């Protein structure tokens, strides 16, 4: 399924529980979140539960640091499990290779850019759960992601940055 993300779509920063609408994820991003959910559910939570049980068996729980920390860690794991479950349940999975209009930048595109000095960089436009600037994945909601939406090869964009604006030219668009 392919989906065009509109640049004016606004979503809350980070809380899946406040978001009754759908978020976009690439298939690879959804698989990463699913692997994390399975790991927490099948490995991490049972391990911490066993640690809490062992700490509880030591007696007084009010001053038992291992017990208190374990309960806190269980709450964190449960919170993350709820978040991941809800995020995956409400996400619209986008397969970039199925994008019908490959001549413009939309969600999932891998975009090669050239700056004024001839320097080149490549980024994939992804959802906020998938960002990894060092890995070349930027959010569709970021200033650069928004500036690139709907651009074609040869189009220039000006991106506002804290260290100064920069003009970039789109030199290649791929959907993989």
Model pLDDT for residues 81-111, shown as the tens digit of each residue: 999 999 999 999 999 888 888 999 999 999 9
CATH label of the domain that carries residue 100: 3.10.50.30
Domain hosting 121: range is 96-174
Asked if residue 89 and residue 106 are part of one domain, the reply reads no
Domain contains 82: yes
- pLDDT computed for residue 168 by the predictor: 96
Asked if residue 147 and residue 89 are part of one domain, the reply reads no
State yes or no: pLDDT of 11 exceeds 50: no
In total, how many domains does the chain have? 2
pLDDT per position as a tens digit, 135-151: 999 999 888 999 999 99
Instruction: Tell me the C-alpha distance between 2 and 94, whole Å.
Output: 5
Asked if residue 102 and residue 164 are part of one domain, the reply reads yes
Asked if residue 104 and residue 86 are part of one domain, the reply reads no
pLDDT per position as a tens digit, 62-84: 788 899 999 999 999 999 999 99
Residue with more model confidence, 64 or 13: 64
Domain contains 124: yes
Q: Hey, which of 47-51, 94-98, 127-131 has the most confident mean pLDDT?
A: 47-51
Contact 136, 124 (CB under 8 A): yes
State yes or no: pLDDT of 59 exceeds 60: yes
CATH label of the domain that carries residue 87: 1.10.287.180
Find the angle CA(24)-CA(130)-CA(148) to the nearest 5 degrees. Answer: 70
């Amino acid at each position: 399924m392919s989906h065009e993300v509109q640049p004016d779509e606004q979503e809350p920063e980070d809380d899946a529980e406040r978001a009754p609408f759908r978020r976009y994820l690439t298939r690879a991003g959804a698989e990463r979140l699913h692997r994390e959910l399975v790991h927490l559910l099948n490995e991490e939570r049972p391990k911490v539960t066993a640690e809490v049980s062992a700490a509880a068996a030591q007696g007084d729980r009010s001053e038992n640091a291992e017990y208190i920390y374990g309960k806190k860690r269980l709450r964190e794991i449960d919170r993350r499990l709820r978040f991941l479950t809800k995020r995956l349940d409400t996400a619209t999975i986008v397969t970039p290779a199925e994008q019908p209009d490959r001549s413009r930048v939309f969600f999932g595109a891998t975009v090669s850019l050239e700056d004024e000095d001839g320097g080149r960089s490549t980024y994939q436009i992804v959802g906020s759960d998938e960002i990894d600037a060092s890995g070349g994945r930027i959010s569709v909601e970021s200033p650069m992601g928004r500036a690139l939406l709907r651009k074609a090869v040869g189009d220039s964009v000006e991106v506002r940055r804290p260290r100064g604006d920069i003009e970039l030219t789109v030199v290649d668009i791929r959907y993989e």
